[in-house]
């Protein structure tokens, strides 16, 4: 990770935190200006290295943005294929929190020489996908039931990838990649409101906000049921685990990050704050990182 990249990420995080502290969030014009002002240099670096990002899908905190996340997933898959297609030797992709396993199967089909393992704590969605899928699963794809908060998978992945992992599940997957010695981490984060076990969203009178509040009502009920232990929340990712990075802890506090999380249902700036802290956490663990709109691509150096 270069000093320049760390400086750019820290400056972006500090600037977006300042926008949050001054209440320059939620309004579309303020969000767009704030993101361009503070994260524009990081976006430019991404676009230079990985052209084709679907930039017109802003804002993400909208029905349109949520619906078209499939465009960001497609862009991320293109990057994964590009970086892994020509690797020699055994290459293993692990996709934690794979849910249906659909994205992992897509990658397996495009990278037939790569072993792709999809994992999830609950196999029912994958079992449904396997039944409903037209055609057989790729021969190089395997599903394994596993809890990303306490992973038991006995492989060393070349790359850890995921396409939306709620709140702390993203952090568990990132830490799994770090601990497992993976060369790459390539992912799209989601549900930033759920970091630190948070299930509270700042109430605002719009449909997307209501959906997030309903989701968190469900998550809160699940958290209290023993059969859902390990789903979405973990004692290893309590509020005190945030900010994740040393740089983030220098710039902010746990209380502020939880306040950011509660506003993230309606704010791209708040989502970016949480993801840039993850960026710096990966950088501090020896990765070169690129960031763009909920996507992270990191390579161990």
pTM higher than the cut 0.85: yes
User: Is 89 part of any domain?
Assistant: yes
**Token representation of residue 162:** 């995921």
d(CA 102, CA 89) in angstroms, rounded, equals 25
Handedness of CA 257, 202, 175, 18 (dihedral sign): negative
State how many domains the chain has.
1
d(CA 138, CA 96) in angstroms, rounded, equals 18
Q: How many CA atoms lie within 13 A of 156 on its CB side?
A: 5
User: Is 157 part of any domain?
Assistant: yes
Handedness of CA 274, 294, 46, 79 (dihedral sign): positive
**Full pLDDT tens readout for the chain, 301 residues:** 567 778 999 999 999 999 999 999 999 899 999 999 999 999 999 999 999 999 876 677 788 888 889 999 999 999 999 999 999 889 999 999 999 999 999 999 999 999 999 999 999 999 999 999 878 999 999 999 999 999 999 999 999 999 999 999 999 999 999 999 999 999 999 999 999 999 999 999 999 999 999 999 999 999 999 999 999 999 999 999 999 999 999 999 999 999 999 999 999 999 999 999 999 999 999 999 999 989 999 999 9
User: Is 301 part of any domain?
Assistant: no
d(CA 219, CA 248) in angstroms, rounded, equals 27
CATH number at residue 79: 3.40.50.150
Q: 141: domain range?
A: 3-296
What is the DSSP pairing of strand 159-166 with strand 115-120? Answer: unpaired
d(CA 295, CA 188) in angstroms, rounded, equals 5
**Token representation of residue 42:** 């990081």
């Amino acid at each position: 990770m270069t000093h320049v990249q760390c400086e750019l990420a820290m400056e972006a995080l500090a600037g977006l935190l300042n926008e949050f502290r001054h209440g320059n969030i939620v309004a579309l014009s303020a969000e767009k200006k704030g993101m361009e002002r503070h994260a524009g240099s990081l976006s430019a670096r991404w676009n230079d290295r990985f052209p084709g990002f679907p930039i017109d899908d802003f804002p993400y905190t909208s029905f349109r943005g949520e619906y078209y996340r499939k465009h960001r997933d497609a862009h991320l898959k293109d990057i994964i294929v590009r970086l892994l297609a020509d690797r020699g030797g055994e290459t293993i992709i692990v996709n934690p929190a794979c849910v249906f396993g659909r994205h992992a199967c897509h990658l397996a089909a495009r990278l037939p020489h790569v072993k792709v393992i999809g994992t999830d704590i609950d196999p029912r969605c994958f079992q449904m996908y396997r039944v409903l899928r037209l055609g057989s699963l790729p021969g190089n794809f395997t599903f394994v039931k596993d809890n990303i908060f306490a992973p038991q998978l006995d492989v060393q992945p070349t790359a850890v990838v995921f396409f939306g992992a709620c709140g702390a599940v993203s952090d568990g997957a990132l830490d799994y990649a770090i601990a497992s010695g993976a060369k790459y981490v390539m992912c799209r984060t989601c549900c930033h409101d759920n970091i630190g076990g948070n299930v509270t969203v700042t109430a605002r009178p719009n449909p997307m906000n209501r959906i997030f509040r309903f989701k968190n009502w469900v998550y809160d009920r699940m958290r209290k049921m023993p059969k859902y232990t390990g789903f979405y929340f973990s004692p290893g990712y309590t509020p005190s685990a945030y900010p994740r990075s040393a740089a983030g802890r220098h710039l902010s506090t746990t209380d502020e990050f939880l306040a950011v999380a509660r506003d993230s249902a309606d704010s791209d700036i708040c989502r970016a704050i949480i993801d840039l802290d993850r960026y710096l956490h990966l950088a501090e663990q020896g990765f070169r990182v690129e960031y763009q709109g909920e996507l992270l691509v990191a390579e161990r150096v």
